[in-house]
């Protein structure tokens, strides 16, 4: 019987940092760099600090969802991280693969679009979104840790590039911090710096 592997999308499967940064810089009229962002805090807090304004969670995610996360045009040239395609193909033989992302569920077509463009959509069995809208268009939050727990201990591994997320999941499931910068650290978790290292851990 296949095991279950849950992967983050941005920064783990797909290389989206540059287009996300470009969108934020243009939208908020700033000239920030990736190194300016503290990945231990939320996106709207980072942008609030960089713009010296008070941007609410709702304001940021409504805008981000409509104008970035739902834009196929902005994502048309997104590629996978090196070796991700080959390793994911091999992983799909041993695992049921799921994407769990902090993006909003309204952007599911864009995620599928990126995966299809890169030839790996067929390897994924499902998608989880931390944020989604209810019938009244209010944000509902469904944390990654809760999604993992819903499988009732049947998840074999979780991979994310966020220290915050790994801290929340490391006591639930074996968690791997994906860190291409080789600068992050979470006690009690594993680390991988690229997809070849992930393959060594998971295959």
Q: Does residue 137 have a pLDDT over 90?
A: no
pLDDT value of residue 134: 76
In angstroms and rounded to an integer, the radius of gyration of the C-alpha atoms of the chain is 16
Is it true that domain 3-15+79-202 has CATH number 3.40.50.1000?
yes
Instruction: Name the β-bridge partners of 129.
Output: 101
Domain ranges of the chain: 3-15+79-202, 17-75
Is 140 or 25 the better-scoring residue by pLDDT?
A: 25
Q: Does residue 138 have a pLDDT over 80?
A: no
**pLDDT tier, 76 (very low <50, low <70, confident <90, very high otherwise):** very high
**pLDDT tier, 38 (very low <50, low <70, confident <90, very high otherwise):** confident
Q: Does residue 148 have a pLDDT over 90?
A: yes
**pLDDT tier, 42 (very low <50, low <70, confident <90, very high otherwise):** confident
List b or e across 45-74, with b for residues whose CB sees 16 or more CB atoms inside 10 angstroms. bbbbebeeeebeeeebbebbbeebbbeeeb
Q: Does residue 45 have a pLDDT over 90?
A: yes
| Structure tokens given for 134 | 């209810």
């Amino acid at each position: 019987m296949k095991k279950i592997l849950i992967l983050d999308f941005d920064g783990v499967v797909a290389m989206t940092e540059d287009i996300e940064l470009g969108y934020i810089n243009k939208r908020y009229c700033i000239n920030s760099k990736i190194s300016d962002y503290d990945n231990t805090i939320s996106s709207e807090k980072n942008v609030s600090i960089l713009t010296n304004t008070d941007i609410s969670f709702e304001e940021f995610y409504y805008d981000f969802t409509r104008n970035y996360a739902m834009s196929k045009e902005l994502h048309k040239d997104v590629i996978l991280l090196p070796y991700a395609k080959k390793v994911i193909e091999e992983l799909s033989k041993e695992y049921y693969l799921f994407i769990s992302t902090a993006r909003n569920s309204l952007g599911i077509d864009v995620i599928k679009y990126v995966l299809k463009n890169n030839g790996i959509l067929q390897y994924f069995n499902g998608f989880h979104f931390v944020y989604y809208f209810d019938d009244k268009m209010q944000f509902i939050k469904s944390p990654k840790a809760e999604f993992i727990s819903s499988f009732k201990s049947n998840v074999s591994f979780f991979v994310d590039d966020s220290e915050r997320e790994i801290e929340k999941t490391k006591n639930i499931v074996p968690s791997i911090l994906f860190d291409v910068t080789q600068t992050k650290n979470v006690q009690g978790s594993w680390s991988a710096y690229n997809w070849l290292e992930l393959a060594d851990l998971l295959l």
